[in-house]
Structure 1
Amino acid sequence: MRTHRIALALGTALLLAGCGSGQIGDTGGGQTDPNNKNLALITGMRGEPFYVSMECAAQQEAAAQGYQLNAQAPEKFEQAEQSQIFGSVVSTRPGAVIIAPTDDKALAAPLQQAKNNGIQVVEVDTALQDRSIAVASLSSDNYAGGKLAAQTLAHLVGGRSGSVLALNTKAGTSTTDERAKGFEEEIAKHPNLRLLPTQYTDNEPATAAQIVSATLAANPDLVGVFGTNLNTGEGAATALANAGRSGQVQLVGFDASPKQVEDLRNGRVQALIAQNPARIGQEGVRRAIAAIKGQPVERETRTEMIAITRDNMDQQSQYFYKSHC
């Protein structure tokens, strides 16, 4: 029960109730038709429960406000395919594009061109390094989420000493890079834990599983693993189960997909850091509509996260992601 109380307290303490920066962005870039009722949503990856949950809420909000939402996504979290989809979508001249950029630099030029042509840009989940293009950005506070993951893992490990591994996806992905940074800086405060070099999985569960298997062989003192997103967490859980180390090596995942929730319930994962993708999708549509109408738009918004353990998961089920609408 001690673990339950600590994890729940951590989740509550770092619950970020959608606070914004208070900055107001202009609706800049070309002339936008205020009567344009067409919106586009381009998420990071088709079928991923985080993005499915976002899309479901976005579709519901758009319909409620009398707008049409064209939602598309690449098969994999890849810049090239997303860029192709983006080019096709903007040719239909929506009033706004709501997008989760799969690369924080490469998509800047096409998004700037869309802005110049009067299409409002709203970033959801991920963001460009160039902050001048989008009228609004909505995401979880990923740095704080990484810190919460480290705090949760440290308490799960207790006083044991050993090595810890962080699994990132692809360098240049703003969300997971921030989670990894928060995790690394917070875990350094725990002298009993030795952080191994961060490994990149190319967002493939199989690659994550291979890395964890190799790390177990090279570091028999491994006591903890942090997966910075759904795919890395699922792959890590598979590797630990295959090695018979589930529960011996504490695994903290990020996101609460149906598979991750199942793994938490059966002990393959010890904690999940859950986001609120539905709120991001809903608010993304609201920001896009406001920008189309020429209304003031809050530039930066961060939504809440919470640490979920096996002990408190039934009380936190509202944070579980959807596999379909």
Structure 2
Amino acid sequence: MNKRTLLSTLIASTLLAASSLAMAADKEIAVIVKTTNSDFWQNVKKGSNDAAGKSKGFTATFQGAASDTDLAGQVALVENAVNRKVAGIVLAPSDPDALIPAMKKAWEAKIPVVLIDSAASDAGKAYYQSFLATDNKVAGEMSAKTLIDKIGTTGKIAIMSYTAGSGSEIGRVGGFTDYIKKHSKLQIVGPFYSNSQMGTALNQTTDVLAANPDLKGIFGANEPTAIGMGRALAQAGKAGKVVAIGFDGNSDLQGFVKDGTIEAIAVQSAYEMGNLGVKTVVELVQGKKVPAFRDTGVLMVNKKNIDTPAAKNVLY
């Protein structure tokens, strides 16, 4: 074999080996959430990693914007995933419209998109294949019913919300408000928007309590908002005196339920959103049909049931 033939053979062997390695490399599923700065989203990460670990040939990466309101940052994360030619995207959009152009780019690149937690508006329906979430309207109604059962149908309540216009907020706070209006004569103060910042929620709740000494009830509509609400109630000496309903189930909120600061928390399965989100992308990559919507459920957790297996399955 002459040197030229030997060189050609070596080059061909190297290219074949590189090609084999590329084919063997695990396919990336990009999990892109609203922000990584809460236990809720970290539980989504745990679920997605566990699903990827059980799905041969796939890995999951996890990213979030700087905050719930950093729409440009989240758009950039999706566009970067498309440019990396990922196998699929699991996305929790912070806004029902702002992410649609980026989702369209994924669709044009034949990259499947599965939404979790919050939906896109109707204009984006063509660009994602499945939506996994709590039925936020039902969860809001459950929270309102729990509050009415405790305080009755007259008096004044406040709504401490998070990001105005996000899909989950529209359903959750809308369901809560509609149920209150339909089934009681309770006067509603707010909603106030914390943009999912615990400190903002604490300050807002402190102001609401000071301005409304006759407040009978209060609803904190997501994890950081409910934590801020609980801390404000404790600092104002109103824990257990103003009936509070929270949302989500991290250790802070569990503590508030156990000590009576918060009457009950509506807990979503964040783990299931991440786990089922990745599994659904894998199914799509494999050419399988998937449901357009999957309800990941919600459980009202209070002092009586917080130590039950059902509650432990969703608390984090």
Supply the AA of the counterpart residue of 1:75.
A
Matched, 1:70 2:64: no
TM-score w.r.t. length of structure 1: 0.84
From 152, 156, 170, the counterpart of 2:150: 156
Partner-residue secondary structure (3-state), 1:102: coil
CA distance in 2, matches of 1:299, 1:192: 37
CA distance in 1, matches of 2:241, 2:190: 21
CA distance in 1, matches of 2:39, 2:236: 27
CA distance in 2, matches of 1:259, 1:183: 23
Q: CA deviation at 1:75?
A: 3.0
Give the ranges of 4+ consecutive aligned residues of structure 1 lying more than 4 Å apart after TM superposition.
none
Asked if the contact 1:36/1:292 (under 8 Å) is kept, the reply is no
User: 1:14-53 residue pairs with structure 2 within 5 A?
Assistant: 37-53=27-43
From 72, 83, 92, the counterpart of 1:80: 72
Counterpart in the other structure of 1:136: 130
Counterpart in the other structure of 2:94: 102
Partner-residue secondary structure (3-state), 1:171: coil
Q: Deviations over 1:53-84 (max 9, x none)?
A: 11111111111111111111223222122122
Structure with more relative contact order (C-alpha pairs < 8 Å, separation 6 or more):
1
Which structure's residues are more often helix, by fraction? 2
Counterpart in the other structure of 1:3: none
Larger radius of gyration: 2
Supply the AA of the counterpart residue of 2:243.
Q
CA distance in 2, matches of 1:189, 1:41: 38
Q: Deviations over 1:104-125 (max 9, x none)?
A: 1011001101110111111011
Asked if the contact 2:134/2:297 (under 8 Å) is kept, the reply is yes
Counterpart in the other structure of 1:224: 217
Partner-residue secondary structure (3-state), 2:102: helix
CA distance in 1, matches of 2:234, 2:169: 24
Counterpart in the other structure of 1:170: 163
User: 1:192-211 residue pairs with structure 2 within 5 A?
Assistant: 192-211=185-204
5+ residue gaps, structure 2: 1-22
Asked if the contact 1:126/1:174 (under 8 Å) is kept, the reply is yes
Q: CA deviation at 1:90?
A: 2.2
Counterpart in the other structure of 2:288: 295
From 194, 213, 224, the counterpart of 2:206: 213
Q: Deviations over 1:266-306 (max 9, x none)?
A: 22211100011122212111211121122211111112111
Q: Report how many residues are paired.
A: 287
5+ residue gaps, structure 1: 1-32
Partner-residue secondary structure (3-state), 1:178: helix
Q: Deviations over 1:89-136 (max 9, x none)?
A: 222111101110111101100110111011111101112102221011
